Amino acid sequence: MTWTYYFKPILAQGEGVKRSGSGGSLGAGSTDIPVSSASTYFSQNDPIFVTDGSGGNVSYCGLAVSVDADSVTVTLPTRVNYTSHYVIKPTAWVILECDYKAMEIDRDLGVENFEASGGVIYRTQVKDATKRWLISWQDLEMSSWGDVRDFIETTLNYGLEDFTAAFWDDVEQAQVVVCVRLAQRGWRLQTKDTQCGDLELELFYVNGDYE
C-alpha cells in the first residue's frame, strides 16, 4: 500500500486518555476509530494515536474531526491491521504548523574498548552508528516557539525524557512513528526576524513503542 498523506509533525508524551477500542478488528486505512463512550473521553481536534493490544504498531491518526458516542473520526488513516486496539490522546503535545524536512542520519560515534584487562586495552572496535532523525522546521512563527520550549523544558525535563515523534518521510513516502529522545539537551533556533525563525532538533531512537 502506498501512503500519500503528508502531515505536520507532532511531538507527544504520555497517555492522557487511553481507551480500549471496540468492535473487534480494525483495518489499515481506517479513519473511523471505534471506541466505547468516545464522546466522554475525546474531543474535536484532539491528537489521536492507535496501538495494538500490547501497545505496539503505533499509528498517528492526526486530529479528531468529530466524536460521537462510539467512535472517533480522524484526519489520518491507520497504518496497519489491528485485531484489537487502544486509542490514545497524549498528556502533552506540540504540533508546529509550518514547513519542515525530516532526514534519517547515521552518527559515527568513534571507537570503544573491545578487549581490556587490568587497565590495558588489547583491542578496540568502531562503535555501531546510531540511527537518528534530523527534523528542521522553516519559518516557524516565533509565537509558536514558546510552545516548543515549554514542551522541551517542562514535559521532557530539558530533553532528558523519552517521547513519541510522528512525521512524514518524504523519501520513503511513509509515516514514521518512533519513541525518541533529544540527542542533545537543547535545540538550534535561528531567528530570521522578530516574527519567525528556523528550528532544528536531532532525535535518536529509543527502544519502545508509544511513550
Give the fold, CATH level 3, of 17-89. Answer: Elongation Factor Tu (Ef-tu); domain 3 (2.40.30)
Q: Where in the chain is the domain with CATH 2.40.30?
A: 17-89
Contact 62, 20 (CB under 8 A): no
- 210 vs 60: CA distance, rounded Å: 10
Find the Cα–Cα–Cα–Cα dihedral 61, 57, 50, 174, rounded to 10°.
0
Q: Which of 48, 46, 43, 66 is nearest to 58 (CA)?
A: 48
* Alpha helix stretches (DSSP H) within the chain: 38-41, 142-150
The owner of cell 504548523 is 97
Task: Give SS3 for 146.
Answer: helix
User: DSSP letter at 151?
Assistant: I
The owner of cell 496501538 is 51
- 159 vs 95: CA distance, rounded Å: 17
Per-residue pLDDT tens, the chain, 211 aa: give them.
344 457 889 999 999 999 999 988 999 999 999 999 999 999 999 999 999 999 999 999 999 999 999 999 999 999 999 999 999 999 999 998 888 888 787 766 544 444 445 554 544 444 455 678 888 888 888 878 888 889 999 999 988 899 999 988 777 777 889 999 998 766 777 887 768 888 888 898 887 777 7
- 139 vs 197: CA distance, rounded Å: 5
